[in-house]
Structure 1
Amino acid sequence: MIPVGSVVNAAAIVIGSLIGCMLHSRFPERIRTIVFQGLGLCVLLIGFQMAFKAQNILVVLFSILLGGIIGELVRLDTLFERLGNAVKKRIGSANPKFTEGLVSASLIFCIGALAIVGSIEEGIRNNPTVLYTKSILDGFASIALASSFGSGVLFSAIPVLLYQGGITIGAGYVESYLSPLIIDQLSATGGLLIAGIGIILLEIKDIRIANLLPSLALVPILTWVAGMLPSL
């Protein structure tokens, strides 16, 4: 099965990034600064909107805390930085924000309910409509991101294609494990991570978002545990 929705999504990111890169060279520094700040505010808003979907705040809390500990122990941020720098070296980019743009854009585009629900919808019902909608949103977002970060955003299309395409292809196997409650909890936890990216963009605080990614893997497990313990 060809994950058409994910292919279209990746293409939209590439096109949007190319437009953003062209605009980047034409913007004076003060314009790039205000775009960067506006983008940070928008990402913060998106993150908080997603975070408010939490059905059980304790699950989200423990997922973030335990996930952060795991991420720090295995140093995921260093791994992502090395991967980003490897891509940067391979293409010969001199952009100092290449790796930051690649990692930040990948997280923004991959974390969220639309990515999960849309991929499953296409895999189970052969309906890519949700991913088409996400493609439009990601396309416009990539213009803003690339105008600030540069070409690194363009390469975020690769993890988006692999991640969403993988879910679509394996949708029949994961559907039974992803209840509406788990999806809401994943969206809420992912929303906090996206809000963290907004805080970074606004230069309020440097947060190692990559090291918090294991929290997403813990959400289904802790949601199941919470369901076994009514007091939670």
Structure 2
Amino acid sequence: MILLGTIVNAAAIFVGALIGRLLSGIPAAIRQTVMQGIGLVVIILGLKMSMQTENFILLIVSIVVGSIFGGFLKIEAKLDQFGRWLEKKVGGKKEGSIATGFVTATLVYCIGAMAVLGAMDSGLRGNHDILYTKAMMDGFSAIIFSSTLGIGVALSAVPVFLYQGAIALLSTQINQFVSQELLDQILVEVTAVGGLMIIGIGINIMELRKVNVANMLPGLLIAAIGVPFVQWLTVIFAH
């Protein structure tokens, strides 16, 4: 079922937000420990994905060139700026505001490599591991957000479902334009590049260092284009 991962993710956010309204004053030490544990799980998932690559040179080139493009485009900075602008439009950071909780949670859950990668993996391979991991992260953070920002956090499950569901469904149409053999090879390399980004997300969750993962997102496109390009070069040099 293509949308299973998305459904689980949206449900985890909704349930987590409801639980958050029932709980109050979650100790900071518990929050930190749980998030560190989740961060470790995310890093392991990223390592597993990145080790699938069959072309380490392409993996390196995709991350480096993608990061350069993302840096020039200032993707991370623009997303942060958009979030601040949107928050001002809905009334600032007033605690308990439904609008603020909704916008804040939506931005956190929709903007990021895991949302895109997970939905693509669901659509292309029917593999929901990334979205299951994301659901675990989002569910717990929804408890934290809802306990401080209000029930508006639960409403963010709707745009998460629509956003990730659309990506998953659109991804199923790619095989109409690309042969299955080439698509499989593209998936391997895109998954590997995405795995490195997910490691970065895990590092961010554990607050070890700030990794600008959003700036690396163009690397996914570089990897996808790079596979047929490498094949073309191989044929050229073979002759």
Give the TM-score taking structure 2 as reference length. 0.73
- Structure 1 residue 102, shift from structure 2 partner: 3.5
Deviating more after overlay: 91-100 vs 202-211: 91-100
Counterpart pick for 1:214 among 213, 218, 236: 218
Give the corresponding residue for 1:32: 31
Kept in 2: contact 1:48–1:191 (CA 8 A): yes
Count of equivalent residues: 220
Superposed displacement of residue 173, structure 1? 4.6
Q: Output the CA distance in 2 between the equivalents of 1:24 and 1:105.
A: 25
Measure, in 1, the Cα distance between the counterparts of 2:79 and 2:72. Answer: 14
Q: Does 1:144 align with 2:144?
A: no
Instruction: Describe the shift of the 1:164–1:58 C-alpha distance in structure 2 as closer, same or farther (beyond 3 A).
Output: farther
Q: Deviations over 1:161-209 (max 9, x none)?
A: 3244144146335544361111111111111101001111222211111
**TM-score normalized by structure 1?**
0.75
In percent, how many aligned pairs have the same letter?
24
Q: How much has 1:105 moved relative to structure 2? A: 6.3
- Equivalent residues in 2 for 1:12-27, closer than 5 Å: 12-19=11-18, 21-22=20-21, 25-27=24-26
Q: Give 2:205's aligned residue.
A: 201
Supply the RMSD in Å over aligned alpha carbons: 3.6
**Superposition deviation, residue 215 in structure 1:** 0.5
Unaligned runs of 5+ in 2: none
* Contact 2:109 2:138 (C-alpha < 8 Å) held by counterparts: no
AA partner of residue 110 (structure 1): A
**Which position in structure 1 is the counterpart of 2:107?**
102
Q: What is the alpha-carbon distance in structure 2 between the residues aligned to residue 91 and residue 13 of structure 1? A: 27
Q: 1:76 to 1:195 in 2, by over 3 A?
A: same
1:106: how far off? 3.9
Q: 2: CA distance between counterparts of 1:94 and 1:143?
A: 23
Q: Which string of whole-angstrom CA distances, capped at 9 and with x for unpartnered residues, describes residues 98-118 of structure 1?
A: 869934764254243x52242
Give 1:66 deviation, angstroms: 0.5
Unaligned runs of 5+ in 1: 122-128
Amino acid at match of 1:184: V
Aligned partner of residue 179 in structure 1, secondary structure: helix
